[in-house]
Amino acid sequence: MPILMVFNDPDDWPLSVPGVQVVSARRYLTDPAFHRLANTRLFNLCNSYSYQSRGYYVSLLAEARGHRPQPDVVTIQDMKSSALVRAIAEDLDELIQKTLRPVHPDHFTLSIYFGRTLARRDQLLGRRLFGRFRTPLLRAQFDRRHDRWHLRGVRPIPASEIPDNHRPFVIEAAAEYFARRQRPGNTASPPRYYLAILHDPEERDPPSDAAALKRFIRAADRLGFGSELIIRDDYERLAEFDALFIRTTTFVNNYTYRFARRAVAEGMAVIDDPLSIARCTNKVYLAELLTLHQVPVPRTIIVQRDNADEVIDRLGLPLVLKQPDSAFSQGVVKVADHHAYRNAIDALLDRSEAVVAQEYIPTSFDWRVGLIDGEPLYACKYHMARDHWQIVNQQADGRHRYGKTEAVPLEEAPKRVIATAVRAARHIGDGLYGVDLKLVGDAAYVMEVNDNPNIDAGCEDAVLKDELYERIIGSFIRRIERLREGAAPGA
């Protein structure tokens, strides 16, 4: 993938990095050779990014050409938005206070060069700001008021404003940054695309175990797709990749959603996409959506305080209550009498204005149908945990005990189950989903549609084996190519 560094005067940049071409802003803007340069990343280090300046037009035309500039025009404008800067400062407030506590003056300027800072103390804060404002050279200014630090503003640093005593460090940071981008492998025919697989090595019950992650990496390699495992602290590296595959539990209000949003903004292929995360991780939304589209579901009521007394009369006992953002069966309770119902519903409504109540349908196992691009991928029977009514039994010590997973060839799964799963997933999107269903007689009822479904070695892959991983990687390749076609000039 071509990498360009653009300066007003290239002579100001003394570093030569393999695979990185240094060009003048004037040449980039006028030379036809750059008009249709495909699959390119651009680092804009012009002297000014003000509206309609040369640096502004470098980023603007880079976007029009389908290149991926840093900073892009949106980032340039974002740094001018005091409301957005305040919102990001609130999100980083704990880190800001901790990092700057030892600083004595009431004003502090933090320079961030390719994600690095001069002082080790400031490194994490610098990386987080670099991740939020993708700009090669970045300056953040802080003020202390009433014993608390406040982020006053963030702006790009033009190359012309790099202090002389910082220049050796900037060159070192740039060299390290670009060296990291030169991935090992066959340099004669490097992969066309690179996939970031976001995981959490500390997660107790991840959606893919270590063996499955290795199989994804091997499948990518077989298809000529470079891949790398990344973690939460690699947020600022996201733009180095062409696609993001999230393999840690997703929630709207945590870093996985920010990763997905950033990936979409960078023009990357991403599973799970932000819309799928938002839709699937809220059971109130799912209940309303599936009911609206007449997808078969258990009898369901959206419970608020003003209708909580009606639920038992309408659904009977026992019944199931679900916290809207529950995962791995946490926040899902079965109640068998009025007293248990009242205690559970009061506790849940203290945390959320709405709760899902459903009739209880006992079965010895649930069906899970995995889909990607709207097509069935695998089918499994998830048997209930021993002596429990769910597939996961949460122990008092925090551990989870699971029932047996039994993979079934798609052609042997009930047609009603597969068809209902396809119908349910269609209303979410075209990502990777796991649809949970109960089959009662001839009727298949959708219990949930999950983004980020489990794919563990020896479980969901027991029928397709390596083909399952290759089909998912193949979907990423098709998504990237569609995005590239859509970004091509004149497309």
Q: What is the pLDDT of residues 345-395, one digit of tens each?
A: 999 999 999 999 999 999 999 999 999 999 999 999 999 988 788 887 776
Please state the pTM of the whole predicted model.
Answer: 0.73
Alpha helices in 46-121, H assignment, sequence order: 54-64, 73-78, 82-91, 93-100
**H or E stretch at 214:** helix 210-222
The whole-number average pLDDT for the span 319-328 is: 82
pLDDT of residue 157: 87
- 126-180 pLDDT per residue, tens: 998 998 888 999 999 999 999 999 999 999 887 778 888 998 999 889 888 877 6
pLDDT value at position 186? 45
The one-letter code for the residue type at 248 is T
Rg (CA), the chain: 26
- Residue 82's CB is within 10 A of a number of other CB atoms, namely 10
Q: Summarize pLDDT for 207-247 with one digit per residue, the tens.
A: 999 999 999 999 999 999 999 999 998 887 888 899 999 99
> Which amino acid is present at 335?
V
User: In this model, does residue 92 exceed pLDDT 70?
Assistant: yes
Looking at every residue in the chain, the average pLDDT score rounds to 90
- Is 7 in contact with 42 (CB distance < 8 Å)? no
Structure tokens at 195: 């996939």
Comparing 28-37, 291-300, 354-363, 408-417, which segment has the lowest mean pLDDT? 28-37
Q: Set out the domains of the chain in order of their start, with CATH numbers.
A: 1-182 (3.30.470), 184-272+476-486 (3.40.50.2300)
* pLDDT interval class at 396 (50, 70, 90): low
> What is the pLDDT confidence band of residue 429, given thresholds at 50, 70 and 90?
very high
pLDDT digits (tens, 9 = 90+) for 286-322: 999 999 999 999 999 999 999 999 999 999 999 999 9
Ramachandran assignment for 467, one of left (phi > 0), alpha (psi -120 to 50 degrees), beta (any other)? alpha
Report the pLDDT value the prediction gives residue 11, as an integer from 0 to 100: 82
Write the DSSP symbol of residue 305: G
